[in-house]
Amino acid sequence: MPSTTVTVGSAVGLHARPAAVIAQAATETGAEVTLAVAGEEAVDAGSALLIMTLGAAQGDEVTVESDDEAAMKVVADLVAKDLDA
């Protein structure tokens, strides 16, 4: 499955608000998209709760994976953005 690695941009990391925004966008793409931090199991990007379990802080690298490259780009761009700004 194609993947890209991005750096978490949100000052609070992938916590409640950023996770909710990312999950909503992932769901709206209609594609399966996963997120993972190094050494951990990938989680469904369509679930805010699962995104928060990653514990990804600002500056951490997250791997975004999907067979749908457009969906992968949408999610990767959001992970890299400061969604609390």
User: Is 74 an annotated catalytic residue?
Assistant: no
Euclidean distance between CA atoms 64 and 28, whole angstroms: 16
Active-site position among 10, 15, 33, 65: 15
Whether the CB-CB separation of 29 and 71 falls below 8 Å is answered with yes
Whether the CB-CB separation of 31 and 69 falls below 8 Å is answered with no
Q: Provide the annotated active-site residues.
A: 15
